[in-house]
Each structure stands twice: as structure tokens, then as C-alpha cells.
Amino acid sequence: MKTSTCGVQVLHYFETCRLTAYPDPGSKDGKPWTIGWGHTGPDVYPGLIWTREQADAAFVADLGRFERDVMQLVKVPVNQGHFDALVTCATLACLCASLKAIWLIASAKQGATKSAGR
């Protein structure tokens, strides 16, 4: 399953594209450094500048990684809205371990998935 156009629009609403690397404003030491549409990693460092094309390419690669993570963790059928919501949560810095715990709890409650993603 892939994130829908609507799901991508939600991600772009919450994560502005910045072409100059910046420190994480929520951390004490500024790490991790971030660039583009929220891309982090060892390839991001102070002073790094990207083009919009580089930012968009990294977004597609990062999104694919989160989509794969969600598909590995979710063991029940989900609709497009559910999938988009889970990928958005994972992408917007929810740790996959937390996502797994949340999903297991919701799945255990049977019926919790019926209203998710609406």
C-alpha cells in the first residue's frame, strides 16, 4: 500500500520544506539536524544546503521507509485512510515502537480500527 495524495498533502502541511539544515528545536543539543521535508540522518549536518529536487527525492525515499515499517507492523486489514494516518504518525516523529504498541492496544480492543482514519 502507498500513501495517497491526500496523505502526502497532510504531511506537507505539517512539515515545511526547508532547504538549509537546521537543528531540532525540541532537543537540548540541537540533534538531529533536519533538512528538506523533515529528513534526518548522518547525511545531514550544519551548513548543508539542498535544492528542492533533493528535498523531494529524500521525502519520497523516507516516505517509502515509513510505509514499509507500517506494513510490517500492521497485521490486520486497513483502508486507505487508516494507512495514511499510520504513515503520517510514523513520519511525524512517532517512534515505530510506540506505533506498534498503540496499534496492538487498538487491535486488541476490536472495533477500535473502525473509526480510525475517518
Q: Which domains does the chain have, with CATH numbers?
A: 5-112 (1.10.530.40)
Stretches where the chain sits below pLDDT 70 are 93-118
Q: In what order do the strands lie in the sheet with 39-40?
A: 18-22, 34-36, 39-40
The reported pLDDT for the residue numbered 73 is 84
Determine which helix (DSSP H) or strand (DSSP E) holds 64, and give its type and residue range. Answer: helix 52-73
- 80: Cβ contacts below 8 Å, ≥ 6 apart: 1, 4, 7, 117
Q: Residue 74: which of 112, 37, 39 has the closest Cα?
A: 112
The reported pLDDT for the residue numbered 95 is 47
Q: Residue 77: which of 33, 116, 37 has the closest Cα?
A: 116
Residue type, 31: K
Give the chain's mean pLDDT: 83
The reported pLDDT for the residue numbered 34 is 92
Is 55 strand, coil or helix? helix
Q: Which residues are catalytic?
A: 15
- 2: Cβ contacts below 8 Å, ≥ 6 apart: 67
Mark residue 90 as left, alpha or beta (left: phi above 0; alpha: psi -120 to 50; beta: remaining).
Answer: alpha
Tracing cell 495514511 back to the chain, one arrives at 84
Residue type, 18: R
The reported pLDDT for the residue numbered 86 is 86
